Structure 1
Amino acid sequence: MDSYGIISLVPPILAIVLAWWSKQVVLSLFLGVFAGAFIINTYNPILAFMATFDNYVLASLADSWNAGIILFLLAMGGMIGIINKSGGIMAIGEYIAERANSIAKTQFATWLMGILIFFDDYANTLIVGNTMRPITDKMRISREKLSFIVDLTAAAVSSIVPISTWIAFEVGVIRDGFDSIGIELNAYTTFIQTIPYRFYSLLALVFALIIIFTGKDYGAMLEAEKRARSTGETLRPGSTPMVSNEIEEYKKVEGESFTFFNSFAPIIGVILVTIIGLWYNGGGMEAGITIQEAFGDADASVVLLWAAVSGSFIAGILTLAKKILSLEEVVDGWIDGAKSMFVACLILILAWSIGSIADDLGTANYLVSILEGNIIPEIVPVMIFIFSAFIAFTIGSSWGTVAIVMPLAIPLAHSIAIPMLPTIGAVLTAAVMGDHCSPISDTTIMSSTASAVDHMDHVRTQMPYALTVGVVAALFGFLPAGFGISAFYLLPVGLIVLYLIVNIFGKKAEDLI
């Protein structure tokens, strides 16, 4: 049968509701997969339990592409673990912090550090917040503003750069969506092509710069900045700041350690191996094959694994050559970093599994059947953006949102002939936006923790900014993109609108003292 009908919506809806209620994304996704297997196996719980693992979880891992992506994620985490154990991540923070000597420069240094630590959003959040907090306090910048910049840059950057701990997850889910509709498109190439359509993430990064260099704020953030400037109280009186314990994992080693430039050597190695590897693996050495064709034909899962392992070796060899760590400590650092990717791997495997469940149940076919003729196809990207942002807000997980929505969005876009790139971009960037607004988001909580600010103060001051960028992304990005207008025309318009909003509604805290 093409679809199980309305019952095919049970797995994703169950995953959404349970994630919202329990705040446990891994468990919720697993139960969503089990619910689908329960339906398919004629409501037999024993057969459903076995099928959940045999036909979906293990089947996902048995796929060579998926296995390569999982190994890449572990190797990338291992590389970061070696860099961190060698003091490299703290070195990045200290290098930038030393160059901040004014309010604008300090805020820009915080933003820039968030950009440079692009390879992992967790490391980004913890390092930037803890490194810059003493400096922003000295400059009378509110903790609310610090946590806003920290939170904004972390996921927004990690989710769009071609080399990060996010890339494996995003490429894997995109490829799974393509497989479900039987089209052969290169998932890695598609990922690159969606970057201009990540309207929220791109606009948010520039919005922060507008706030920083105009010196203007509005809403609750303006009140927080006014308080900090006038009284020197970087925290709201009576607030309960969260204190970071995680930073103990990111402390500078005693004695010799990685420098700022040492820290980026493995990352540069990853980038170079990825570029050369995509060209080589895609047949670039054959006559008549262009670079674009080679990149499109390459197996990105294999190439990314080459790159991450190469980065791990570069980090390890450099550490041993500088006599910072012993061989045993290098291996321990790699293992610790790989361990930090465990939950991410679980979510990724379950994302593939729930995508397979949706395919077997014909969930997308059912949605198409009820939407065809009842909705303007061109507004689907903006609807997907709003829906995904709401899901991310309610469950507090960017990855969980993508895992739930992407298996539905790609088949839907294909079936009703709407632009694929804006639709995929809408899911990926809306997940970041909803995460920025959600008080139960892990990265939002970590940003409050690393910045040592009252968590609800952080949410209360950041939400108006995230919603501002989100509305602009929806109205001036995804809505016209659904009608086929290129992102290269829409992004400048969105930036102009944001600049006007800040200048019309924003005020300088110093002017109100």
Structure 2
Amino acid sequence: MTRSISKLTSLNIAGLWLVLLMSFATLLTPAWAEVGIEAPALVLKDTPFSVTVSRDDPAGSEPLWLQLDEQRYPLAFENGEARLDELTSQADTLSLTLVNEAGDTLAEAGSVAIAGWLSVVPALTAIVLALVFRQVILALFIAICAGGWLSYGLSGGKLLQSVLDSVNVHILKAASDSEHMSIVLFCLLIGGMVGIISRNGGTVGIANHITRFVRGRRSAQTTTGLLGTAIFFDDYANALIVGNTMRNITDKLRISREKLAYIVDSTAAPVSAILLVTTWIGFQVGLIDEAIGQIEGFDGSAYAVFLDAISYSFYPILALLFVFMVSLSGRDFGPMLKAEVKAVQRRHDAPDELTDMEAIAEEANIDAKPGIPHRALNAIIPMTVLVLTTLGGIWYTGMEELGHPAEYSLRDVFGNGDSFTAMMWGSLLSTLVALVMTQAQRLLSMDETAHYWFEGVKSMLLPITILMMAWALSSVNEALHTSDYLVSVLSDSLAPQLIPVSVFLLSAFTAFATGSSWGVMGIMMPLVVPLAWAVLQHHGLAGDPEAMHLFYASVAAVLAGAVWGDHCSPLAETTLLAAMASGCGLVEHVRTQLPYALFVGVITTLFGILPVAYGVPWWLGIAVSALVMATGLRLLGKRAEDYQQPASEPSGRPAIGGEAGIKQIS
């Protein structure tokens, strides 16, 4: 017992001495020993990157340098941190060393380095594979794996790891984002609501009412465009509501799913981008405010800049106009004309070979229960609840964000609202209202209501899977600094008149490659606004009323280019949602919409942005561009009905002639 106590006492004394020695050593350690280097995990050769150095040295008396490629950069610390921007390297493996005046190494960090052009490979791989093989999920999966492998510097030993990372890193990261999950829940709840109102006869009732006013294919397309313009507050809600509402009507009138998806897609984002009370406003104004904060002596508010820039948002305005030109004229060209001819010639009893989300939409096509009345109010009221609750939720969250001040306008309130939360509120309440109305009228049993709610939810699983993978690819692009590479390559010194068109093209290509219009705006706006002002200052034009249109046009070009790139890209969220809600295959939607988007985009560039940059009034640029679009549609477009076969079915409907009509326009 005594020996045990003695042994325990000896251990305690030894531990005490150890603690004292460690404390003494800490006191002797120089303050600059506690340092750290924060470097990106991956850098692009010849593309600028940033490094942050931190140290726990309140006195800050010891000068330090960061060594890169045998070159030293002095560090200026503020609050214990020093940041170096615009660093570049050509080395295959980046080695960063922190040294003191005596040349002692205090800290080291390393990064993988790859050629800048490789950062574009995953996005282009996804686009090419999706368009060639029409297998979107496989294309996205291969692109994600390729991006993961690039992030490891194409190391042979990391190939399998990059495949495994596709799920447990990239897709998991996309699923962990709260805003992404808000969209997923919104889609699922909307799908469930649509399942209920389809089975209880509500959607059939709407179709019956609308068909009383729709006299044919043109008026149905125009009605779809007007509905898409009316639901202006959010592009996601727009696509889901309009596509699901009009799909059965356009099917009955033999309007192709591709045409419906085009009208939905080309009204959703453009109308949300340019109207004054939408979920886009707060994001855009916030970016502009941050950007003009970098400009010394700039006199003007961010919201005023946004309002002045709307007049120069040529692509969203002209895209909306072209939708109604196509709808009212009944003319189409390119792959869209082939799709319309196929739809016109299709027999009602002829089976079609469906692919992608067309097949999902057909499987999820829920017919009204036989023997019950088809009341339009059973669909109109839940949809109205969805719209009003979403708008009210945006207003409420905006007021909460601003602290209920009386001096803020409705635009300010909507600009600061939380659209994701509001959309979830709206979709949940609309589902509950649909359920209560169905039960109150005894149209379906509770078991039937639950079953068809799940059927509606099930129809969303494929598009949500694709959406998740598209988000994962966007995360990969961010890790590979794809946007930084594109900006560094394409944003050289410019003449003032060429800034808007250069920004428009750069933003469009970046959105096309990354599939994210909001991501492009978040990257480009802080760069473009100071750049445009600096170029104007260099030429003595900053603040000149005669030259400020170049500044506003540059701001608008970021937004317009992002929307244009989204319309051309199979990776874009709104493109996917429009295809999903319309029951159209994603690849088919992109193939048919792409010529229209390019047509409007090229005319926008040549007859809108460039002439206005050189002094033509903005309204004249829009008018001339609209005239050129109308003329081009007149020359290129043909009516699908002109290829209809003269023979008739017993029912009196025109019969189809196989592929004959389609071959005539090939």
TM-score normalized by structure 1?
0.68
Shift of 1:278: 1.9
Shift of 1:262: 3.0
The counterpart of 1:422, out of the listed 549, 557, 568, is 557
Cα deviations by residue, 1:382-406 (Å, 9 ceiling, x for unpaired): 3246636976xxxxxxxxx614x76
Measure, in 2, the Cα distance between the counterparts of 1:45 and 1:460.
Answer: 32
2:3 alignment counterpart: none
Measure, in 2, the Cα distance between the counterparts of 1:217 and 1:495.
Answer: 16
Amino acid at match of 2:630: Y
Shift of 1:216: 6.5
- Does the aligned pair in 1 maintain the 2:507–2:520 contact within 8 Å? no
Shift of 1:378: 2.6
1:402 alignment counterpart: 515
Structure 1 unaligned segments of length 5 or more: list them.
137-142, 185-189, 392-400
1:89 pairs with 2:184: no
1:287 alignment counterpart: 405
Shift of 1:368: 3.2
1:431 pairs with 2:546: no
1:266 pairs with 2:397: no
Q: 1:242 to 1:45 in 2, by over 3 A?
A: closer
Measure, in 2, the Cα distance between the counterparts of 1:423 and 1:479.
Answer: 15
Instruction: Describe the SS at the equivalent of 1:286.
Output: coil
Amino acid at match of 2:204: M
Shift of 1:247: 3.9
- State which drifts further: 25-34 or 268-277: 25-34
Amino acid at match of 1:275: L
Cα deviations by residue, 1:4-33 (Å, 9 ceiling, x for unpaired): 115355354223214422532442453255
Q: 1:116 to 1:258 in 2, by over 3 A?
A: farther
Measure, in 1, the Cα distance between the counterparts of 2:250 and 2:223.
Answer: 11
Q: 1:45 to 1:155 in 2, by over 3 A?
A: same
Rg larger in structure? 2
Q: 1:297 to 1:213 in 2, by over 3 A?
A: closer
Instruction: Describe the SS at the equivalent of 2:505.
Output: helix
- Does the aligned pair in 2 maintain the 1:86–1:324 contact within 8 Å? yes
Instruction: Describe the SS at the equivalent of 1:98.
Output: helix
Instruction: Describe the SS at the equivalent of 2:213.
Output: coil
Q: 1:79 to 1:108 in 2, by over 3 A?
A: same
- Does the aligned pair in 2 maintain the 1:121–1:155 contact within 8 Å? yes
Shift of 1:372: 3.9
Amino acid at match of 1:14: P
Measure, in 2, the Cα distance between the counterparts of 1:21 and 1:460.
Answer: 13
Q: 1:38 to 1:194 in 2, by over 3 A?
A: farther
Measure, in 1, the Cα distance between the counterparts of 2:618 and 2:441.
Answer: 46
Shift of 1:162: 5.7
Measure, in 1, the Cα distance between the counterparts of 2:362 and 2:196.
Answer: 16
- Does the aligned pair in 1 maintain the 2:119–2:480 contact within 8 Å? no
Report matched runs for 1:250-399 at 5 Å: 250=365, 251-283=367-399, 286-288=404-406, 290=408, 291-373=410-492, 377-384=499-506, 387=509
Q: 1:125 to 1:241 in 2, by over 3 A?
A: farther
1:14 pairs with 2:122: yes
Shift of 1:67: 3.2
- Does the aligned pair in 2 maintain the 1:198–1:428 contact within 8 Å? no
1:469 pairs with 2:600: yes
Measure, in 1, the Cα distance between the counterparts of 2:339 and 2:556.
Answer: 39
Q: 1:380 to 1:240 in 2, by over 3 A?
A: farther
Report matched runs for 1:435-450 at 5 Å: none
Amino acid at match of 1:383: L
Amino acid at match of 2:195: G
Q: 1:309 to 1:195 in 2, by over 3 A?
A: farther
- Does the aligned pair in 1 maintain the 2:225–2:324 contact within 8 Å? no
1:206 pairs with 2:324: no
Measure, in 2, the Cα distance between the counterparts of 1:200 and 1:206.
Answer: 10
Amino acid at match of 1:86: N
Measure, in 1, the Cα distance between the counterparts of 2:179 and 2:292.
Answer: 16
Shift of 1:96: 2.0
Shift of 1:197: 7.8
Measure, in 1, the Cα distance between the counterparts of 2:180 and 2:590.
Answer: 36
Cα deviations by residue, 1:229-257 (Å, 9 ceiling, x for unpaired): xxxx9479xx9965786446333332225
Shift of 1:199: 5.2
Shift of 1:79: 2.3
Measure, in 2, the Cα distance between the counterparts of 1:388 and 1:281.
Answer: 32
- Does the aligned pair in 2 maintain the 1:279–1:294 contact within 8 Å? yes
Shift of 1:476: 4.0
The counterpart of 1:249, out of the listed 361, 364, 384, is 364
Instruction: Describe the SS at the equivalent of 1:252.
Output: coil
Measure, in 1, the Cα distance between the counterparts of 2:406 and 2:206.
Answer: 43
- Does the aligned pair in 2 maintain the 1:79–1:337 contact within 8 Å? yes
Amino acid at match of 1:31: C
Cα deviations by residue, 1:388-439 (Å, 9 ceiling, x for unpaired): 6976xxxxxxxxx614x7646642443243645532442334332566xxxx
Identity %: 24
Shift of 1:112: 1.0
TM-score normalized by structure 2?
0.54
Q: 1:504 to 1:36 in 2, by over 3 A?
A: closer
Measure, in 2, the Cα distance between the counterparts of 1:274 and 1:442.
Answer: 18
Instruction: Describe the SS at the equivalent of 2:371.
Output: coil
- Does the aligned pair in 1 maintain the 2:439–2:446 contact within 8 Å? yes
Amino acid at match of 1:5: L
Instruction: Describe the SS at the equivalent of 1:4.
Output: strand
Shift of 1:150: 2.8
- Does the aligned pair in 2 maintain the 1:68–1:305 contact within 8 Å? yes
Cα deviations by residue, 1:204-236 (Å, 9 ceiling, x for unpaired): 4533433554577778999999x99xxxx9479
Amino acid at match of 1:475: L
Measure, in 1, the Cα distance between the counterparts of 2:394 and 2:264.
Answer: 27
- Does the aligned pair in 2 maintain the 1:385–1:426 contact within 8 Å? yes
The counterpart of 1:78, out of the listed 163, 174, 192, is 192
- Does the aligned pair in 2 maintain the 1:270–1:308 contact within 8 Å? yes
Amino acid at match of 2:187: L
1:24 alignment counterpart: 136
1:109 pairs with 2:220: yes
- Does the aligned pair in 2 maintain the 1:476–1:494 contact within 8 Å? yes
Measure, in 2, the Cα distance between the counterparts of 1:328 and 1:191.
Answer: 51
Q: 1:337 to 1:218 in 2, by over 3 A?
A: closer
- State which drifts further: 373-382 or 330-339: 373-382
- State which drifts further: 2-11 or 107-116: 2-11
Shift of 1:116: 3.6
2:53 alignment counterpart: none
Cα deviations by residue, 1:154-212 (Å, 9 ceiling, x for unpaired): 3223445669xxxx9x97xx89x97xx9999xxxxx99999988755653453343355
Cα deviations by residue, 1:112-148 (Å, 9 ceiling, x for unpaired): 1465477575886687565445556xxxxxx7xx567
Report matched runs for 1:207-222 at 5 Å: 207-211=322-326, 213=328
Q: 1:127 to 1:44 in 2, by over 3 A?
A: same
Instruction: Describe the SS at the equivalent of 1:282.
Output: helix
**Which structure dedicates a bigger proportion of its chain to helix?**
1
